[in-house]
Structure 1
C-alpha cells in the first residue's frame, strides 16, 4: 500500500475518533493481497513513524489529530482484550475515587473476563486481572466516567482488590464509606 493512501484512510478513521487498531483491523482497512504484503506495509509505516506498534498486534496511528492522551491507554486495553468484558478496577479505580493515598501515574489496572497479563507500552503499563464474576454482576457494579473504559464503583473496586488478594492497607476506609 502506498503511504499516501494509508495516511488518507487512517485520517478518515481518525476523524471518527479511531486511532488504535488491531492487526486484523488494518488488514481490512488496507486490503492487501497477501499477509506478507500487509506485514511489509505495516513495517514500512512503522519505520516512517506513521504507525506505532504499541503491543503485539496493536498499532496506534501516530499522526492522529484526535489522539487523546488520557484515553489512549484505555483504547489500547480495549484492543488487547477485544470481545471480553473489561473495566478499570483495583488501585486505578480506588485512586480515581480518592480513597487510596497513591496515584498510579503510568499504570492502569483492569479487570477482564479474558486472560490475565501485563503489557508495557510507551503510554504506560496495562495490568489485566481475570475475574470470574458473572456478566450481570459486572454490569451492575460499573459506571461510565467519561472515558472509553467503564470503571468499577468504589465498593466493587474494593471488593475486587480483596478478592484477588491485593494489599488493602493503602485504602482510607473513612473515605471509602463517606457516601
Structure 2
C-alpha cells in the first residue's frame, strides 16, 4: 500500500476528538522502514493535500474529526515538549482567575524545564515557554493537573511568584484582587 494511503487509513481508524494531534515521532512510528527525509516529504505532501494541518514544527492536526478548537493551543503545548516538565503559569493563569484583566488572545505562557522559546502555531496562536529550574517535587500542592488542557496548572500564588521571579511586567496585576483571591481560596 502506498504510504499516503496507509497514513490516511491509520488516521481514519485511530484519530478521534481526544487523539487529533500527532507529533512527528507519532507519525514516524507508522513507517519504521521509511527514511527520515522520506517521512518528512510524506508529511509535507499530507499537509499540501489537506490530510493533515501543520500546527507548528513537529506537530500535526488531523482535521477530519471533531476536536476542541479552543484547546488546540494547550494540547499542542503538551504535545510539543513531552520530555520536559511544563506547567501553565504567569499571565495565562493570572488572567484565567481575573488577577490580570488583559491577556493577548491566542497566547499561552508555560513554565518549562526546557529552554525559553516562542512557538508560533499559525491561526491557533502562540505558546511562550519560559525556562524554570523548579522541580516538580518542590511544587507539590502548588500545581494541579488540568485534564481539559492536558497540562499542569500553577496556583495563582505560584503564578505571581513566577511572574516576579522571571522579572516580567507586573503593571497589569491587580494586587488587591490577587490578595483577595489568595485569601479566599488559600491558593
- 1:67-86 matches, within 5 Å, as 67-86=67-86
Unaligned residue ranges in structure 2 (runs of 5+): none
What residue number does 1:94 align with?
94
What residue number does 1:111 align with?
111
What residue number does 1:164 align with?
166
How far off its partner does 1:2 sit?
4.2
CA contact (8 A) 2:84 2:112 kept: yes
What residue number does 2:39 align with?
38
Q: Return the match for 1:175 from 165, 168, 177.
A: 177
How far off its partner does 1:148 sit?
1.4
TM-score, length basis structure 2: 0.87
Change (3 A) 1:80 1:53: same
TM-score, length basis structure 1: 0.90
- 1:50-69 matches, within 5 Å, as 50-63=51-64, 65-69=65-69
Q: Count residues with an aligned counterpart.
A: 178
Deviation string, structure 1 residues 6-56 (Cα, Å, up to 9, x no partner):
222113332271121221111112445322332222121111011122222
CA contact (8 A) 2:17 2:67 kept: no
Deviation string, structure 1 residues 158-179 (Cα, Å, up to 9, x no partner):
0000000011121112211221
CA contact (8 A) 1:32 1:38 kept: no
How far off its partner does 1:70 sit?
2.0
Moved more, 146-155 or 136-145: 136-145
* C-alpha distance in 2 between matches for 1:12 and 1:71: 23
* C-alpha distance in 2 between matches for 1:150 and 1:36: 34
CA contact (8 A) 2:54 2:61 kept: yes
SS in 1 for 2:30: helix
Change (3 A) 1:35 1:119: same
Unaligned residue ranges in structure 1 (runs of 5+): none
* C-alpha distance in 1 between matches for 2:176 and 2:86: 28
* C-alpha distance in 2 between matches for 1:148 and 1:4: 31
* C-alpha distance in 1 between matches for 2:13 and 2:99: 41
